[in-house]
Amino acid sequence: MVTLRPVLPADIDALYEICLVTGDAGADASALYTDPRLLGQIYAAPYAVLEPAHTLVAEDAEGVAGYLVGTHDTAAFAARLEREWWPALRQRYADAEGMSAADRDCIAAIMRPEPPPADLAATYPAHIHMNLLPRLRGQGIGTALLQQWLDEARRAGVPGVHLGASTRNTGGVAFWTRSGFVPQRSIGTATWFSMAL
């Protein structure tokens, strides 16, 4: 049995782990990173810490095995990251000597975050990230997480949501398309999707 629930502080280590082991276009990225928490510092933990009301986890008998994190207001969240999240990480990762190429890519994103396409963020101001361990995939858990998050966003009056997915993550791209997200454009290695609420 899988339970969907709001994130708790005790779940954050699991979010870091899930982010890493799904971080290579849905596959395990552990071998790519010198620092196993780096990917989660960008795509998982800040949401759980700064916006826990908009973070859901999926838990089975073995523990937390999936999450959906997001924000209703991308611009406000980016400003909060600048005030409360990035400064300590920029100090921590000021010296990337000896770190892997994947680490250095993440550090560059921490030092100089790339905003989403401005028109997407303006029209669809919310954004999300979702990852599931393989043991939860193919059971409708992702759909249930997404529906719960979208229902709450609609109740809050959010007009739309966007997300970026790796073009290499064919399963993820198929999921978002099947779930009603509309592909808007591809930039580099990411396909950007949107959904009006």
**Sequence letter at residue 171:** G
Exposed e or buried b for every residue in 83-109, given b needs 16+ CB within 10 A? Answer: eebbeebeeebeeeeebeebbeebbeb
CATH number of the domain bearing residue 73: 3.40.630.30
Contacts of residue 153, Cβ cutoff 8 Å, sequence gap at least 6: 72, 126, 161, 197
10: containing domain? 3-196
Question: For residue 57, what pLDDT is reported?
Answer: 98
**pLDDT at position 98, please?**
87
Strands (DSSP E) found in the chain: 3-6, 56-60, 63-71, 126-132, 160-166, 182-187, 190-196
pTM above 0.85, yes or no: yes
Task: Quote the number of domains for the chain.
Answer: 1
pLDDT of residue 175: 96
pLDDT, position 3? 98
Using CA atoms, how far apart are residues 32 and 75, in angstroms rounded to an integer?
A: 30
10-residue averages of pLDDT along the chain (197 residues) = 97 98 96 97 98 98 98 98 98 91 96 94 97 96 98 98 95 95 93 97
| Residue with the two structure tokens 């933990």 | 45
pLDDT score for 101 = 94
